[in-house]
């Protein structure tokens, strides 16, 4: 289980401190697929970077299975079982798709094994396995390769930052299947996806809403989705959230 | 081959991927003398009489044959200049593997300056691979100054792969090429310097006939306190296309100077140069670290990929 305790994150904005994340406490239980959603600029991606160790919180602590990992490096967190799929996949020169999947798996794997991860994200493995992970690949292709690297890791916590961004509609159908498959084989791990897409929200066990750097709402999908849709049922749910001490 | 010691054999493997006597024609030079030479029906290797070196004569129409001419030096303090001339007949299609490995454990500098001249016949096709490698922990330097001249007849093509990854302290590589109509030259240079090494790469390519084309690309990494200079000049004298690119990574206190030069003397010459120098992108390191690699491991993977 991943636990965030009173996490705040501040950046220096022209000499003034600007709070990006304000006192967020959150639990991502095992065997659950949790989706974080909320308006753009609300701090969702920053939260993902704080979990992966790319940024360090100004205050608060992060626990993985009870162990405090707040001060751990990116590498150590990865080795503890945190995987992170970038919103904007990184391009390389000379590193091939196979190299990246092999590094992700952390062991010597065969071409056939690597191809399975590519097939799982809807890429024709034979065509891609020897391609360079560079600008010759489209945004959607890079994105799917990025997701394949997370699949190859088989982690305790798999974190995806807007996996739908840059993916065409056809590939998106496939992506939903990938996440459904991951959910089915989740075992003791957990999956955390940052997304705006309703179809991704719909496969979640739990939803978390982050707004203006704060935790706006958290709960089972059936309670949260009506709030987001702004339907009549959103009103009581919203009130309930306020009554529970949520800051709006 | 029997005359080579273990170090010589290891160098031969590094520079020419040779575990034993190669197939086809070859000339193996060790410590200033030939230790093996074989000509074939189509490829004749003749030692020069007036100076040090060999003439390699490839008959017109020779297809799918190879020539290996590696050089190894294991004695400290040798300094040699060798002239090798390649006469490649019309419509031949051959692979030429050169390369030099120096192991210097002694106090004196070891230097091999290979001057290669290629006369590429009309319609002939050549793939040329040249690897340079140095080893040994002596105070004497390992110095290589290759000079390459390429004269390409009409519609000929040449692909040159030049690799220097490790251990050469000082190198000045000069490559000059003159291309006639329809000739095509492709150069892929991969270079890594470390310690206090210094490497200078100079290319001068003349595109002299209609439809001539050249693509000169260097990928390099300068680590520690090493210094590199990439100086590539393409001259377009007719309707032609030329592209030169220097893509370099600097690390530690490494320094690189890229001087791309283009000269168009014909209104139909289309010439392009690109040069980019910078450290490893932070996001590349972060991506590999999120896969569980340490920063050092991530750097190695990025560089290995870059120079692959």
pLDDT at B227: 97
A54 touches chain B (CB under 8 A): yes
Q: Is A99 on the interface with B (CB under 8 A)?
A: yes
The CA–CA distances, whole Å, from B31 to B6, B73, B77, B103, B187 equal: 14, 5, 10, 11, 29
> Is A94's CB within 8 Å of B306's CB?
yes
**Hey, are the CB atoms on A103 and B281 less than 8 Å from each other?**
no
Cβ of A74 and B290 within 8 Å?
A: yes
pLDDT-derived band at B1 (thresholds 50, 70, 90) equals low
CA nearest neighbour of B261 among B204, B184, B188: B204
| B281 and A CB contact within 8 Å | yes
Mean pLDDT of chain B: 92
| Mutant choice from B219, B287, B295, B297 vs A, greatest count of A C-beta within 10 A | B287
pLDDT digit string (tens) for A138-165?
888 898 899 999 999 988 999 999 998 8
- On the question of pLDDT at B18 being above 70, the answer is yes
A135 close to B (CB below 8 A): no
The nearest CA of chain B is from the CA of A79 a distance in Å of 5
B chain contacts of residue A74, beta-carbon cutoff 8 Å:
286, 289-290
Whether B24 shows a pLDDT value over 80: the answer reads: yes
Domain boundaries, chain A: 2-243
Give percent of chain A with pLDDT exceeding 90: 61
Chain B residues whose beta carbon lies within 8 Å of the beta carbon of residue A150: none
- Please state, in angstroms and rounded to a whole number, the distance separating the CA atoms of residues B244 and B260: 7
Contact of B294 with chain A, judged by CB distance below 8 Å, is answered with yes
Residue A103 contacts B where some CB pair is shorter than 8 Å:
yes
Highest mean pLDDT range out of A113-127, A164-178, B55-69? Answer: B55-69
Q: What is the pLDDT of residues A82-117, one digit of tens each?
A: 999 999 999 999 999 999 999 999 888 888 888 989
Q: Give B247's contacts in chain A (Cβ within 8 Å).
A: 93
3-state secondary structure chain A: CEEEEEEEEEEEECCEEEEEEEEEEEEECCCCEEEEECCCCCCHHHHHHHHHCCCCCCEEEEEECCEECCCCCHHHHHHHCEEEECCCCCCCCCCEHHHHHHHHHCCCCCHHHHHHHHHHCCCCHHHHCCCECCCCCCHHHHHHHHHHHHHHHCCCEEEEECCCCCCCHHHHHHHHHHHHHHHHCCCCCEEEEECCCHHHHHCCCEEEEEECCEEEEEEEHHHHHHHHHCCCCHHHHHHHHHHCCCCC
Report pLDDT for B152. Answer: 98
> Is A106 close to B292, i.e. CB distance below 8 A?
yes
Asked if B291's CB is within 8 angstroms of A149's CB, the reply is yes
Q: Note whether B283 contacts A: Cβ–Cβ < 8 A.
A: yes
Mean pLDDT lowest among A157-171, B246-260, B272-286? A157-171
> Residues 242..271 of B with a Cβ closer than 8 Å to A: which?
247
Q: Do B301 and A103 touch (CB under 8 A)?
A: yes
pLDDT for the residue numbered A228: 80
Per-residue pLDDT of B80-123, as tens digits, reads 899 999 999 999 999 999 988 888 888 889 888 889 999 999 99
The pLDDT value recorded for residue A242 is 55
Contact list, A96 vs chain B (CB under 8 Å): 305
CATH 1.10.760.10 is held by the domain A2-243: no
B171 contacts B199 by C-beta, under 8 angstroms: yes
End-to-end CA distance of chain A: 27
Global model pTM greater than 0.80: yes
Instruction: Suggest the residue from B284, B285, B286, B291 to mutate for an interface test with chain A (most A CBs closer than 10 A).
Output: B291
pLDDT tens by residue, A16-47: 888 999 999 999 999 999 999 999 889 999 99
Q: Using the predicted structure, report yes or no on whether residue A122 has a pLDDT greater than 50.
A: yes
CA distance B209 to B139: 48
């Amino acid at each position: 289980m991943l636990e965030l305790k009173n996490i705040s994150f501040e950046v220096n904005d022209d000499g003034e401190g600007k709070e990006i994340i304000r006192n967020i406490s959150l639990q991502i239980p095992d065997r659950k697929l949790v989706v974080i959603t909320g308006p753009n600029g609300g701090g969702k991606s920053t939260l993902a970077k704080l979990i992966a160790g790319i940024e360090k919180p100004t205050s608060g602590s992060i626990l993985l299975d009870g162990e405090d990992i707040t001060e751990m490096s990116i590498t150590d967190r990865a080795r503890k079982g945190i995987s992170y799929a970038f919103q904007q996949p990184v391009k390389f020169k000379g590193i091939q798709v196979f190299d990246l999947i092999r590094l992700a798996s952390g062991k010597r794997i065969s071409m056939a094994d690597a191809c399975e991860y590519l097939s799982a994200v809807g890429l024709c493995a034979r065509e891609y396995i020897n391609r360079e992970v560079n600008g010759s690949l489209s945004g959607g292709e890079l994105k799917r390769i990025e997701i394949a690297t997370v699949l190859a890791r088989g982690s305790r916590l798999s974190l995806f930052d807007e996996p739908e961004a840059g993916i065409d509609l056809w590939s998106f159908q496939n992506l939903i299947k990938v996440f459904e498959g991951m959910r089915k084989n989740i075992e003791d791990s957990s999956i955390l996806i940052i997304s705006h897409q309703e179809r991704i929200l719909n496969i979640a066990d739990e939803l978390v809403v982050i707004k203006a750097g704060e935790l706006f709402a958290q709960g089972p999908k059936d309670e949260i989705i009506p709030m987001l849709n702004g339907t009549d049922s959103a009103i009581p749910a919203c009130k309930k959230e306020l009554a529970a001490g949520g800051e709006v | 081959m029997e005359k080579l010691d273990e170090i010589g054999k290891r160098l031969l493997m590094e520079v020419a991927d040779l575990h034993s006597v190669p197939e086809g024609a070859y000339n193996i030079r060790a410590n200033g003398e030939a230790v093996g030479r074989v000509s074939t029906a189509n490829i004749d290797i003749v030692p020069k009489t007036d100076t040090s070196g060999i003439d390699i004569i490839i008959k017109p129409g020779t297809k799918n044959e190879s020539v290996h001419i590696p050089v190894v030096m294991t004695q400290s303090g040798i300094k040699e200049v060798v002239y090798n001339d390649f006469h490649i007949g019309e419509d031949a299609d051959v692979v030429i593997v050169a390369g030099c490995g120096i192991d210097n454990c002694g106090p004196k500098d070891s230097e091999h300056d290979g001057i290669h001249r290629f006369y590429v016949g009309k319609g002939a096709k050549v793939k040329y691979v040249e690897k340079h490698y140095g080893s040994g922990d002596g105070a004497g330097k390992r110095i290589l100054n290759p000079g390459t001249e390429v004269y390409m007849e009409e519609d000929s093509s040449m692909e040159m792969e030049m690799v220097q990854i490790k251990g050469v302290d000082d190198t000045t590589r000069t490559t000059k090429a003159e291309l006639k109509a329809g000739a095509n030259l492709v150069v892929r240079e991969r270079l890594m310097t470390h310690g206090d090494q210094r490497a200078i790469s100079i290319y001068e390519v003349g595109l002299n006939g209609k439809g001539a084309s050249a693509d000169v690309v260097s990928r390099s990494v300068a680590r520690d306190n090493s210094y590199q200079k990439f100086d590539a000049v393409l001259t377009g004298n007719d309707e032609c296309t030329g592209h030169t690119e220097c893509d370099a990574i600097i690390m530690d206190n490494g320094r690189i100077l890229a001087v791309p030069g283009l000269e168009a003397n014909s209104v139909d010459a289309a010439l392009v140069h690109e040069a980019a120098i910078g450290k490893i992108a932070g996001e590349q390191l972060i991506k590999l670290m999120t896969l569980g690699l340490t920063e050092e491991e991530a750097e190695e993977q990025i560089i290995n990929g870059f120079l692959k």
